[in-house]
Amino acid sequence: MAITPSVRDAYGQALVELVAENPSCVVLDADLSIGTRSAMVQKAHPENFFEMGIAEQNMVSVAVGLALTGKTPFVNTFANFLVGRAYDQIRVGVALSRTNVKLVGSSAGFSNYPDGGTHQSTEDIALMRALPGMTVIVPSDAAEAVEAVRWAAKYHGPVYIRLPRDEVPAVFPRDRDFTVGKIHVLRQGRDIVVFACGTMVAMALEAAESLAPEGIDLTVANVSTIKPLEEQVVRALAGGTGRAITVEEHSLIGGLGDAIGGTLKNMPGVVVESIGVKDSFGQSACSYDELLKAFNLTAENIAGLARKIMRRA
């Protein structure tokens, strides 16, 4: 699989283009604009950029005010700071009030690998998914991130988009438009369906390729919209194989695994296993890959679990 430009670079360029097309789009950041790439908007369209300093709660409240004046604000900072520090403002000002605010959590999951658990987000999907009316999107690569951002700009209502820090393999089909709530089947197989989101989609595809010579055939489903979830498709895919694996760079509590498991709980005979973070904070590492291996978020681990499931079949 080819490596694409970094997701955050693609995101920043998408924001620049959005603002050029629609000046009602505005961008806010909390002293991390270089890291989130919203600085690209600051340079190209300074009149549409607001540097709010290290004041995430205030930033979200200002975004709510801008939305109420007819603007479409994109709020940016690292995912853990956005969701954690400003949760009350997001809950009341954005979700409860149904304001047209777009929340973009950058350097999500373990992608901010050097800085440890304080800067890594493995709880953000759970917190945002629990908020009534909040759309939660986890793009699989740079191309899907761009499409998700463009969709969010047109949609009127609260949106949370979760982005990783750097490059990821290209997996989003170029001939397929992004549709919120739509599950994209990237590989069709007969034995096990793997539901994955974000950076784990590429891992799932790699696992599927490694298992093919062994006669184990995986379906790989890209669940980029965690909420609303396309439940009918989840049931159809899982029912077709009778075996499912969920994979996410997030806590096993409240994320993709819980969403899929809850959808399949009343389907007798369907086996569901989940790969994710087991009730733990992150830790510092010398590389992103090192951290993913430490938490078993690898293609090898997906393939190993698939083998175990098939041996039990």
> Which two three-digit tokens encode residue 254?
């409240």
Helix ranges (DSSP H) in the chain: 7-21, 33-36, 39-44, 56-68, 79-85, 87-89, 124-129, 142-154, 200-211, 231-241, 256-264, 288-294, 299-312
**CB-based contact 256:209 (threshold 8 Å):** no
Q: Which of 17, 21, 47, 56 is catalytic?
A: 56
Q: How far is CA 116 from the centre of its chain?
A: 20
Task: Report how far residue 49's alpha carbon sits from residue 157's, in angstroms, rounded to the nearest whole number.
Answer: 21
Which structure tokens are listed for 45?
């369209």
Active site includes 206? no
3-state secondary structure 230-247: CHHHHHHHHHHHCEEEEE
Scored b (16 or more CB within 10 A) or e, 219-242 reads bbbbbbbbbebbeebbbebbeebe
What is the C-alpha to C-alpha distance for residues 272 and 192, in angstroms, rounded to an integer? 10
Check if the beta carbon of residue 39 is closer than 8 Å to that of residue 33: yes
Determine the Cα–Cα distance for residues 39 and 126; give it in Å rounded to an integer.
Answer: 28
Q: Which of 198, 216, 11 is nearest to 102 (CA)?
A: 11
Q: Which two tokens stand for residue 272?
A: 């569901």
Q: Point out the residues that are catalytic.
A: 56
